[in-house]
Structure 1
Amino acid sequence: MKLSVLDQSPILSGMSPQQALQQTTELAKLTDELGYHRFWVAEHHSTQTLAGSAPEILATHLLGQTKRIRVGTGGILLPHYSSYKIAETFRLLETLYPQRVDLGIGRAPGGKPNVNLALNRGRLPNIENYPSQVRELISYLHGEDPEGMGIHASPSGHTAPPVWMLGSSGTSARVAAEIGASYSFAHFINGYGGAKAMKRYTDYFQPSVQQSKPAGNVSVFVICAATDSEAEYLAASLDLALLKIEQGDLRSHFPTPEEAFHYSYTMFEEEQIAENRSRIIVGSPERVKEEIEDLARYYDVNEVIINSIVSPFENRLQSYQLLAEAFQLTENVK
C-alpha cells in the first residue's frame, strides 16, 4: 500500500508564516527520503493559521527541493480561475519535472465567504460550470483545443499531469467518474459516507483521454507517536484546533498540547470532539498501521494520504517517520 502526504502549512504556536513554509519544505524533503508516494499542498485564503495560499507556487518550490516524490496541489480551487491558465501553469511544471506532478482540484471557496468575491472581482463564481471546466482543463492538458479557438496550452509535451478531483461527498465522486478523472475523498473533512462515494466513483467511471480505469485515494488526519498515551496527548491539540475551527474561533495559531490540556471543555464540546475523532487516527505505530489498513480496505483503495498536524514540529516529523518505519516505505526509494 502507498502512503502519501497532505500538508496545509499550519502555523504552529510561536511560529511565523515564513517558518510554517520552511517546515513544509523540511517535511517534503524528509518524506521524499522516507519513501512516501506523493506530497500535496493546499489552497487557503485570508487565514492566520494556514500559510499555503498559492499551492502552484509552493509545489514548484517543493519539486525543486525533492528528488523522487510526486508533488501536487490538494488542491487548486478551479472555479476561481481560467482552465486555460491552470493548464498552462501545469504544462510548464510537467515540462520541468516530467511525471512527478499532480493537479488536484476542488470547488470550495477556500476561506471566508468574501474570499469568493475577492478572487472573482466582486462576483460569485459559477460552480454550476465546474464539470465543464474540468473537462476543458483535461483537454487543454492533453494538447486539445476544446473551444475550437485555434490555441493550445503550452509548452506541449508527451506527458500530462493527472487531474485529481477532490471531494467530501457523493456529488463530486459522480462528477469525477463521468469526466474520467482520478478521485480523492477527504475523510479528514467528512468522516462519514466516504466508502459509498468511492464506490459510486468506481461504479460509474468512464474512460477518458487521461486514464482508462478509476484511480482513487483517501486522506485522513493521523497522529502517531511511540505509545498510544503519547499519541493521545499530542492529538489533544488537534482536537482543540478542530473544535475552534468549527466555532469560528481559531484566530492566530494551532494550539499546543499544553493549551489543550488546560482548556475547560463543556459537555457539548466534549461530544463534538468525540464526533470529530471519526476523522482522525491516533496511536502507536502498530495501532495506527492497523487502522490505516482498515481504512484502505473500507474505501477499497491502495493509497492513503496522511495529514498530521502536531505541535511542536519535531513531533510532526516523528509521526511521519514512525509511519514510514511501520509500513517499511524506504523499500520504495530507489
Structure 2
Amino acid sequence: MLKLSVLDQSPLLHNETPQNALQQTLTLAQHADELGYTRYWMSEHHSTVILAGSAPEMMVPIIAAHTKQIRVGTGGVLLPHYSPFKVAEQFRVLEAMYPNRIDLGIGRAPGGQPGVYYALNRGKYPDTANYSTDAGHLIDYILGHDPQGYQVQATPMSPTTPPVWMLGSSGSSAQTAGELGTSYTFAQFINPDDGREAVQRYYDHFIPSPLQEDPYASVAVFVVVGDTDEEAEYYASSLDVALLMADQGQRRGHFPDPEEASQQSFTHFEQKRIVENRGRMIVGSVESVKQQLIDLAAHYQVNEIMVNSIVAPFEKRLEAYEKLAGAFQLS
C-alpha cells in the first residue's frame, strides 16, 4: 500500500496572518495524525513573507507534543547554515523526548534570497562544497561518535536514534544520500525534471550504514484535489499564480485568493510558464489524483509520497487531506 505523508510550508493563505499560518500548521498536523498519514514534515524558508516556516526545528517539538503517532520532522534543516554538532544535539534531545517519532531531514539549499546566506552566517558565504562532509559529521555525531576529534559527544544518548533523510532536487544530492546511507526525498514540487534519474542514482550509490541497511526513497509534490476536475482547477489557480509570481521575483504577503486567481489573464509567456510549473503539481478529482499518485510512485519506484497541498481557504486544505486519506484508506 502506498504511504502518504505531509510536507507543510506554513503558507499564508488569503487574508491570513503569520500567526494564523503557524496555528494552521498545528491544526493540520493533528488532522493528519488522526487520518493516518505516516509523517509530518515542516520546511525551512528565510525572509519569505508568504511562508511562515522559518524554523522547523522549533515547530517539531510543538507538533510532536500535540499529536499521538505520526512521525514529525524537518523538511529540512538547511545544514550549510549550522553546526553539525549543534543540529545533532537538537535532534538527540527531540529523540529522547519523542522516541521513534522524530525524522531529521536535511538539505543544502539557501532557503531564500542570496542575502540569507550572509544573514545566517555573520556576513560570510558558507562553503556549500563541504555539504557532504558536514552531513557525514552530523551523522557521526548523532550516532554518538566524535568525527572531528574535539572530544565531545552529542547528548543525550538515548536508546533510539532518529533516522536521517536527505532532501534534494538534483542527482548530486541523491548520490550523496546513497553514499552516506541515509534515506532520500526528491523535491518534485521544486524541480519537475530528472527526478526519476535522481532516485535511481540514489539507489545505485546506496551503501548500508549504521542508520539503515536498505535504501528508502520518497517524492514530495504539490497536490490539489477537488470533488471534480473543474473544482480542482479552480483551487489550483491560486498556486499557479503564486508560483508564477515567485518566478518573476514578485513579493506578495499571501497566496492569491482562488476567486481572484481563476479570473486572471496571462501573456503567452506567462501561460507557458504556468504549464511548465504544472509539472510540479498533481491536480484533479479524488479518483484522478489517486491514480496519478500511484503512477508517480511507480515512476519513481518508491512507496511513499509527501503531499504538499496549498489551497485556500484553510478548510479546503483540511478537506484535501481528508479526501486523499479516504481514497487510499489510510488507517
TM-score scaled by length of structure 1 = 0.98
| Residue type at the aligned position of 2:185 | S
Three-state SS of the structure 2 residue aligned to 1:262 is coil
Match of 1:15 in 2: 16
Q: Does 1:2 align with 2:3?
A: yes
Three-state SS of the structure 1 residue aligned to 2:75 is strand
Displacement of 1:250 in angstroms is: 3.3
Q: Does 1:309 align with 2:310?
A: yes
Match of 1:115 in 2: 116
Cα distance in 2 for partners of 1:34, 1:264 equals: 38
Which piece of structure 1 moves more, 88-97 or 53-62? Answer: 53-62
Cα distance in 2 for partners of 1:135, 1:301 equals: 24
**Structure 2 gap segments, 5+ residues each:** none
User: Can you list the C-alpha shifts for 1:109-160, whole angstroms capped at 9, x where unaligned?
Assistant: 1111101000000000101111011111111111111112221100012211
Match of 1:225 in 2: 226
CA RMSD of aligned residues (A): 0.7
Match of 1:183 in 2: 184
Match of 2:154 in 1: 153
| Residue type at the aligned position of 1:67 | K
Match of 2:29 in 1: 28
Match of 2:58 in 1: 57
Match of 2:208 in 1: 207
Displacement of 1:207 in angstroms is: 1.1
Could you list the structure 1 runs, at least 4 aligned residues long, displaced by more than 3 angstroms after superposition. Answer: none
Cα distance in 1 for partners of 2:327, 2:262 equals: 29
Cα distance in 2 for partners of 1:277, 1:317 equals: 22
Cα distance in 2 for partners of 1:250, 1:35 equals: 36
User: Can you list the C-alpha shifts for 1:157-206, whole angstroms capped at 9, x where unaligned?
Assistant: 22111111100010101111111111100011111110011001001101
Cα distance in 2 for partners of 1:264, 1:277 equals: 17
Displacement of 1:261 in angstroms is: 2.0
Cα distance in 2 for partners of 1:316, 1:169 equals: 29
| Residue type at the aligned position of 1:191 | P
Contact 1:177 1:204 in 2 (8 A): yes
Q: Does 1:126 align with 2:127?
A: yes
**Structure 1 gap segments, 5+ residues each:** none
Contact 1:241 1:250 in 2 (8 A): no
The residue correspondences of 1:309-328 to structure 2 (distance < 5 A) are 309-328=310-329
Match of 1:279 in 2: 280
| Residue type at the aligned position of 2:104 | L
Displacement of 1:59 in angstroms is: 1.0
Match of 1:268 in 2: 269
Displacement of 1:88 in angstroms is: 0.3
TM-score scaled by length of structure 2 = 0.99
Contact 1:102 1:162 in 2 (8 A): yes
Contact 1:217 1:302 in 2 (8 A): yes
Contact 1:94 1:159 in 2 (8 A): yes
Contact 1:234 1:257 in 2 (8 A): yes
Displacement of 1:42 in angstroms is: 0.6
Displacement of 1:283 in angstroms is: 0.9
Three-state SS of the structure 1 residue aligned to 2:241 is helix
Cα distance in 2 for partners of 1:293, 1:316 equals: 21
| Residue type at the aligned position of 1:276 | N
Displacement of 1:30 in angstroms is: 0.3
Which piece of structure 1 moves more, 11-20 or 262-271? Answer: 262-271
Match of 2:198 in 1: 197
Three-state SS of the structure 1 residue aligned to 2:262 is helix
Cα distance in 2 for partners of 1:191, 1:127 equals: 23
Displacement of 1:60 in angstroms is: 1.1
Q: Does 1:66 align with 2:74?
A: no
Match of 2:252 in 1: 251
